[in-house]
Chain A
Amino acid sequence: SQQGEEDPQALSIQEGENATMNCSYKTSINNLQWYRQNSGRGLVHLILIRSNEREKHSGRLRVTLDTSKKSSSLLITASRAADTASYFCASRSMNRDDKIIFGKGTRLHILP
């Protein structure tokens, strides 16, 4: 698989439930970031987790990072209709400081 692969590719849940999305990567990373993209719109930065961190919280978001498994998860608690969007993880390699590599994203749909 390619760097920054998310699963599931699509997720539909009821409003109020928690949504969990996972991301895997291949190379050693400096940090990993999660972005949200509403349909046809720009990328909104959600949260960044460094390689020496295991968990980070921001509001209803919780991100975990397992460098031994080269994976990360994004948990959105108490989902809302406004959370409907695509979510991407993007990793910055330890060796290459410039670019970040995006995954294919998870399309999250919150059902009313």
Chain B
Amino acid sequence: EPEVTQTPSHQVTQMGQEVILRCVPISNHLYFYWYRQILGQKVEFLVSFYNNEISEKSEIFDDQFSVERPDGSNFTLKIRSTKLEDSAMYFCASTRLAQGGETQYFGPGTRLLVL
């Protein structure tokens, strides 16, 4: 069964450094998402992406964040200058269609620790 994959599984970085989290969505999916989950808290929406542009973003997704689909398979989340509060699990998700009863399939997540 096709699945969303994410790399790396864990990332430790120093505050102020840039990180890039990578995702490979399911191949025939068209809509891509990033969510994050701070330890012990609920999963929060960050951004959705369709047709090579952001379709929606939350207030969490400020200028420090950017997303890109550099080729036909990868979908990346970049944090330009990490802060301590960026420490969280970051999940990528994809869905074939945005509307209707379409399931969002999640990757296993990248655990980011900012020191």
Contacts and interface: CB of A to CB of B under 8 A. Distances in A.
- The B contact surface, by secondary structure, is strand
Contacts of A88: 42-43
A67 interface: no
A42 B42 contact: no
Contacts of B104: 33, 45, 90, 100
A48 B101 contact: yes
B51 interface: no
A60 interface: no
Contacts, number: 61
Interface residues of B, number: 27
Given A45-B105, A99-B58, 18 more contacts: A30-B99, A35-B106, A43-B43, A44-B106, A45-B103, A48-B101, A48-B103, A50-B101, A88-B42, A97-B98, A98-B33, A98-B48, A98-B98, A99-B45, A100-B104, A102-B35, A104-B42, A105-B42
Interface of B: 31, 33, 35, 41-45, 48, 50, 55-56, 58, 89, 91, 98-101, 103-109, 111
Interface of A: 4, 30-31, 33, 35, 40-45, 48, 50, 88, 90, 96-105
